[in-house]
């Protein structure tokens, strides 16, 4: 029987991943600790608070893709997680020549320990459901959950993170089974893969490398093929050190933005620490420079260079990178520079992938690491006319630089905000733990004023 909650929460956070947890922690500890203690905050989400799609994995082989010191929940205590892990995690395999690369699930445990240490859970009410719809009510917002119950709230923050992975082509007439891994992030699928089967991985980013690493750790003997449009895999993390941030143009265009990037990183070798140092320097102020660009210039850059930026930005942890390099060397892993256009079943049940430029590929297991996906709640809010769509990234919401959603008439809400990867098309590179945390801190200050 759906339950309706008639007293409005002061704040409802939709999403229960790292972004939601970081916001709660900054709400609790900012503003001299006032605000959250008075309680009445609702959290909507089905999972373990703080884990989300990123860190809620079960596989020990899925590791953080940056060294521990860069997983910064507390902007003022940068090595907090690294020190916590030293005291609390036993994991000899985390150690590499370029730093500690911990299991992703250990980071989720760390976040949980922070929520407990700051006594936040007592101030919150969990609704272990998905939010499907938002509508305005007299008291603020009415959130409809997937069991048809409703939650009322004066303020809402949408922190739904990384959309659930979808196949990057139509799946007409193919019955789903364990050999079709649509969502690989939890890592549980690896146990069901026959050791000698031919596995095809769609996409060539970090999730693809996680898949290769997990298969190699399971002593997989069958062939593995990665199909990725540019035929390239991400480079390995180096032991880079911080360098001064270069100056971005005051009012950048796509061209001046690109020039600034070129002059910072040059044409050097991107596998070397010096190159990564310059590149990481670029990232320091990239979000504010990105926000000073017009949407059409942003769009031009994403279309032309988005893939290359992602490849250089999301570097592989040493463990996953060395598994992939080893399997390439032995010939077990091959990379096909192409796109998958469709999938069918052959007589006898094997899978057949139709590629754009090259011959069809027959295989036993297909793992979707394409990164395709749309946020169903945001799509519904756009469809219902609650919020405006972004003018160039059409499946995404229009937002102000202060993270407020816009109404279809272009005016900003003062009680509906977004947080985390959902904002990256507007705010730039807000995708990793450290930048999300800085954004959560800034939003917590807005909300403190709002809820005072
Ligand atoms: C596989 C993967 C690995 C990553 N590894 C790293 C890393 O090593 N280091 C790093 O800094 N960053 C990493 N990231 C980047 C990551 O996006 C951020 O660090 C951060 O975890 C994002 O948190 P989030 O809460 O916004 O999103 P998510 O982790 O996606 O969590 C969002 C949560 O909200 C829930 N949700 C979604 N829609 C609804 C709804 N309508 N109603 C209720 N709940 C909903 C989801 O089920 C999910 O639990 C990784 C991302 C992914 C996808």
Q: Could you please report the per-residue DSSP string of 24-70?
A: HHHHHHSGGG-SGGG--EEEE-SS-TTTHHHH----TT-B-SS-GGG
Q: How far apart are CA 169 and CA 46, in angstroms?
A: 28
For residue 202, how many C-alpha atoms fall within 13 Å in the half-sphere facing its CB? Answer: 29
- Domains assigned to the chain: 4-163+374-451 (3.50.50.60), 180-235+315-368 (3.50.50.60), 254-313 (no CATH)
Confidence of residue 1 (pLDDT cuts 50, 70, 90): low
| CA–centroid distance, residue 23 to ligand 1 (Å) | 13
Residue 77 CB neighbours (<10 A): 10
CA angle 304, 308, 314 (to 5 degrees): 140
- Our CA dihedral for 262, 266, 270, 276, rounded to 10 degrees, sits at -70
- Our CA dihedral for 23, 17, 59, 113, rounded to 10 degrees, sits at 40
For residue 266, pLDDT over 80 is answered with: no
User: Quick one: which of 233, 406, 404, 263 has its CA closest to 324?
Assistant: 233
Could you read off the pLDDT of 173-194 as tens digits, one per residue?
Answer: 788 888 999 999 999 999 999 9
- Our CA dihedral for 74, 77, 80, 81, rounded to 10 degrees, sits at 40
- Which of 20, 145, 161 for a ligand 1 pocket mutation test, highest count of atoms within 8 Å of Cβ? 161
For residue 32, pLDDT over 80 is answered with: no
For residue 5, pLDDT over 70 is answered with: no
Q: How far apart are CA 250 and CA 291, in angstroms?
A: 11
Confidence of residue 44 (pLDDT cuts 50, 70, 90): very high
The confidence score (pLDDT) of residue 179 equals: 94
Could you read off the pLDDT of 115-138 as tens digits, one per residue?
Answer: 999 988 888 999 999 999 999 988
Confidence of residue 195 (pLDDT cuts 50, 70, 90): very high
| CA–centroid distance, residue 45 to ligand 1 (Å) | 12
The confidence score (pLDDT) of residue 452 equals: 73
For residue 2, pLDDT over 70 is answered with: no
Q: How far apart are CA 28 and CA 41, in angstroms?
A: 11
For CA atoms 335, 211, 68, 27, give the dihedral sign. Answer: positive
How many Å is the Cα radius of gyration of the chain?
A: 22
Enter the pTM of the model: 0.93
Average pLDDT over residues 99-117: 97
- Which of 162, 319, 374, 384 for a ligand 1 pocket mutation test, highest count of atoms within 8 Å of Cβ? 162
- Which of 12, 16, 21, 54 for a ligand 1 pocket mutation test, highest count of atoms within 8 Å of Cβ? 54
Q: What are the phi and psi torsion angles at 36 (to 5°)?
A: -65, -30
Contact 393, 425 (CB under 8 A): yes
| CA–centroid distance, residue 266 to ligand 1 (Å) | 33
Confidence of residue 38 (pLDDT cuts 50, 70, 90): low
User: Quick one: which of 170, 203, 180, 197 has its CA closest to 337?
Assistant: 203
Confidence of residue 347 (pLDDT cuts 50, 70, 90): confident
Q: Which residues line ligand 1 (CB under 6 A)?
A: 14-20, 44-45, 47, 52-54, 64-66, 71, 130-131, 159-162, 185, 207, 377, 420-421, 431-433, 436
Give the range among 71-75, 208-212, 293-297 with minimum mean pLDDT. 293-297
The confidence score (pLDDT) of residue 311 equals: 83
Closest ligand 1 atom, CA of 376? 41
């Amino acid at each position: 029987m759906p339950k309706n909650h008639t007293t409005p929460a002061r704040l409802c956070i939709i999403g229960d991943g790292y972004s939601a947890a970081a916001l709660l922690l900054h709400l609790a500890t900012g503003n001299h600790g006032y605000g959250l203690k008075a309680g009445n905050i609702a959290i909507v989400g089905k999972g373990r608070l703080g884990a989300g799609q990123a860190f809620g994995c079960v596989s020990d082989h899925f590791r953080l893709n940056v060294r521990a010191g860069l997983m910064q929940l507390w902007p003022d205590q940068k090595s907090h997680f690294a020190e916590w892990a030293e005291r609390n995690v036993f994991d000899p395999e985390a150690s590499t020549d370029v730093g500690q690369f911990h299991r992703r699930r250990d980071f989720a445990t760390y976040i949980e320990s922070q929520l407990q240490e700051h006594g936040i859970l007592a101030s919150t009410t969990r609704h272990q459901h998905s939010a499907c719809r938002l509508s305005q009510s007299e008291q603020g917002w009415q959130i409809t959950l997937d069991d048809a119950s409703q939650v009322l709230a004066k303020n809402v923050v949408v922190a739904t993170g990384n959309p659930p992975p979808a196949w990057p082509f139509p799946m007409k007439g193919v019955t789903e089974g364990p050999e079709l891994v649509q969502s690989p992030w939890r890592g549980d699928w690896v146990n069901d893969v026959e050791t000698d089967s031919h596995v095809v991985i769609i996409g060539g980013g970090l999730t693809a490398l996680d898949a290769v690493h997990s298969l190699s750790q399971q002593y997989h003997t069958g062939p593995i093929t990665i199909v990725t449009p540019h035929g390239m895999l991400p480079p390995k993390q180096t032991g880079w050190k911080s360098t001064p941030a270069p100056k971005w143009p005051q009012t950048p265009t796509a061209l001046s933005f690109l020039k600034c990037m070129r002059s910072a990183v040059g044409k050097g070798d991107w596998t070397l620490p010096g190159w990564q140092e310059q590149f990481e320097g670029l990232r320091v102020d990239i979000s504010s420079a990105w926000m000073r660009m017009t949407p059409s210039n942003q769009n031009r850059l994403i279309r032309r260079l988005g893939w290359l930026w992602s490849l250089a930005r999301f570097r592989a942890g040493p463990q996953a990178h060395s598994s992939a390099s080893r399997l390439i060397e032995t010939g077990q892993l091959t990379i096909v520079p192409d796109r998958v256009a469709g999938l069918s079943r052959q007589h006898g049940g094997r899978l057949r992938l139709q590629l754009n430029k090259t011959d069809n590929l027959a295989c036993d297991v297909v793992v979707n690491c394409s990164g395709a996906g749309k946020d169903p709640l945001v799509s519904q809010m756009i469809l219902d006319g609650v919020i405006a769509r972004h003018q160039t990234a059409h499946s995404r919401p229009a937002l102000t630089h202060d993270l407020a959603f816009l109404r279809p008439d272009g005016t900003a809400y003062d009680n509906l905000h977004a947080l985390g990867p959902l904002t990256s098309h507007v705010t730039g590179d807000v995708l990793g733990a450290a930048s999300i945390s800085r954004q959560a801190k800034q939003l917590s200050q807005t909300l403190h004023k709002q809820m005072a």
